[in-house]
A and B are shown apart, each in its own frame.
Chain A
Amino acid sequence: SAVISQKPSRDICQRGTSLTIQCQVDSQVTMMFWYRQQPGQSLTLIATANQGSEATYESGFVIDKFPISRPNLTFSTLTVSNMSPEDSSIYLCSVEAPGQTNTGELFFGEGSRLTVL
């Protein structure tokens, strides 16, 4: 298994500001995934972050709004830029299960719950 720590666990932010969420994994992983879970909704993949290359964004998500860093094999950050109330969501970091490359089996952090006023 993998242990994933996210910071902050929750935050209340003002409209127009930006917030960076950190994700730390207890083992080296190739890919890290960032998901968004809007209130009462399912999880939607924002982007996939590989170490040493630019993140790959899903349709509907852009780098200017959700810049991602992946400086090493155990750490990643997601920034939510110029926030609006519509960005109020839980943001979850996830990694592939060890030894389960390209199977879709993921471990998740506890999420970062953002509320934008």
Chain B
Amino acid sequence: AQSVTQPDIHITVSEGASLELRCNYSYGATPYLFWYVQSPGQGLQLLLKYFSGDTLVQGIKGFEAEFKRSQSSFNLRKPSVHWSDAAEYFCAAYQAGTALIFGKGTTLSVSS
């Protein structure tokens, strides 16, 4: 069955430190891949997406993600975290004819 796995439930990072959130997918073929962010009390906002081509994709708010086919991964990174980045982050995958499938999310806390 198709699935998206986010191994880390909760991560705490110091403000100014770098961040990497992990995401692995299990699909028969490479799906379209997404990262969304959900701030407290808010809906989901798309950070970035990967359809094809360059495996390093840039998104909003200084985030980037790298697609690695050999590892079935699509990890999210940011070089320097700001306190406002504290939120829930969801990785998602889509294949035509199926529903958009979300991982269980990673909660990011930022310490000062």
A residues near B, CB below 8 A? 4, 33, 41-45, 48, 58, 92, 94, 97, 102-111
List B36-85 residues whose CB lies under 8 Å from chain A.
36, 41-46, 49, 51
Partner of B42, one of A58, A97, A102, A110: A110
B49 touches A105 (CB 8 A): yes
Q: List 19 A-B contacts (CB under 8 A).
A: A42-B90, A42-B103, A42-B104, A43-B90, A44-B102, A45-B99, A45-B100, A48-B99, A58-B99, A102-B96, A103-B51, A103-B94, A104-B92, A105-B34, A105-B94, A106-B46, A106-B100, A108-B43, A109-B43
Among A42, A45, A97, A106: residue with most chain B CB under 10 A: A42
Partner of A43, one of B41, B45, B51, B102: B102
Q: Looking at chain B, what size class is its interface with the partner chain?
A: 20 to 34
A107 touches B46 (CB 8 A): yes
Partner of A108, one of B44, B96, B103: B44
Residues of B within 8 A of A111 (CB): 42-43
Q: Count A-B contacts at CB 8 Å.
A: 51
B residues near A, CB below 8 A? 31-32, 34, 36, 41-46, 49, 51, 90, 92-96, 99-100, 102-105
A92 touches B43 (CB 8 A): yes
A42 touches B42 (CB 8 A): no
Q: Bound complex: CA of A102 vs CA of B104, how far in Å?
A: 23
A110 touches B43 (CB 8 A): yes
Residues A104 and B44 in contact in the complex (CB < 8 Å), given A42-B104, A45-B99:
no
A14 → chain B closest CB, angstroms: 23
Residues of B within 8 A of A45 (CB): 99-100
Q: Bound complex: CA of A33 vs CA of B94, how far in Å?
A: 14
The chain A residue with its CB closest to the CB of B93 is: A104
Residues A105 and B99 in contact in the complex (CB < 8 Å), given A42-B90, A42-B104:
no
A87 → chain B closest CB, angstroms: 19
